[in-house]
Copies of this chain bind each other. A is one copy, B any other.
Amino acid sequence: MTVSRVLRNRGDVSRATRERVLEAAKKLGYVPNKIAGALASQRVNLVAVIIPSMSNMVFPEVMTGITEVLDDTPLQPVVGITNYKPEREEKVLFEMLSWRPSGVILAGLDHSEATRAMLAATDIPIVEIMDVDGDPVDAVVGISHRRAGREMAEAIMKAGYRRVGFLGTKMPLDHRARKRFEGFTQALGKNGLEIIDQEFYSGGSGLAKGREMTEAMLSRTPDLDFLYYSNDMIGAGGLLYCLGKGMNVPDDIGLAGFNGVSLLNGLPKVLATMDACRQEIGRLAAQIVADRSIGKDSRHGNRIELSPSLSPGDTLRKV
């Protein structure tokens, strides 16, 4: 009826009626029922966002980018957490799809068979984020982690380091970390090098973990001249350890992390790292969904590969 028209600002309502309705609505504390609205209109202003974790700082940052863009639209994010488990991803996605959202943003390109099937079966816009190494179902925005690993390896070799150790997460299901590692070792291999020592951990990343792993590795293999960490947090811990031991960074030993965590600038030395373009990825993904939801086909196209920039900081020898 007319009330519905007023509340949705559709035209064709006289000023008088309009005001009367608005007043009544306010007086009654009326809150529209979007469920009924959605059912009737077959339109839902929700965007499903499916990420592995909130503890890894990367994902809140992606979320920040997403909300930043969605805030200027009628769309709302709905977050689901998978804890890096394919079966949880499946369940969460199913749950989300049953709300018929306007779009789905999910991390990574590696999904279970069932997940891929669900994604393929729906005509909801799907944006896979973070990673571009693989076949997207629909749209994708991210970086190539293989290339990121490769470029870091190349920079390290170019700087003259030869005896490289790797410290990272023990997470077979963190495909992005795995791909970085693959790209890294592959590039070393091309130059006839290989990783001399490696150490994997499980559990949360923190400075302390980085310290402790670094100590373990260096006491086991003292003649390393470079340490590559799978993230900045443990890298920073390693850096503090090395500096504390009076080592000469980056001359005796070089260090690098990954992510470009700007919070950590302010360490005694700036850690070499590679920006993962997290917020930007969130923004672009949200933009694609927002555009599609109003029938605009995204001006960016369906595949956006960002280029992470390597910043050598103070822990990578200048060539």
Binding site for B on A (CB under 8 A): 29, 31-36, 38-39, 44, 46, 53-55, 57, 59-61, 63-64, 67, 71, 76-81, 88, 94-95, 97-100, 117-118, 121-122, 204-211, 233, 237, 240, 244, 262-268
Contact = CB atoms under 8 A, between A and B. Distances in A.
A68 to B, nearest CB: 9
Given A39-B36, A206-B266, A78 B78 contact: yes
Nearest to A236: B266
Given A44-B35, A60-B60, A98-B33, A208 B265 contact: yes
B99 A35 contact: yes
A54 B121 CA distance: 32
A97 B240 contact: no
B266 A211 contact: yes
Contact of A263 (B54, B98, B206): B206
Given A29-B117, A55-B64, A63-B54, A263 B204 contact: yes
A284 to B, nearest CB: 17
27 contacts: A34-B99, A34-B100, A35-B100, A36-B39, A46-B78, A53-B64, A54-B67, A55-B60, A55-B61, A55-B64, A63-B79, A71-B88, A76-B80, A78-B78, A78-B79, A79-B79, A204-B262, A204-B263, A206-B262, A206-B263, A206-B265, A206-B266, A207-B263, A207-B266, A208-B265, A209-B266, A240-B268
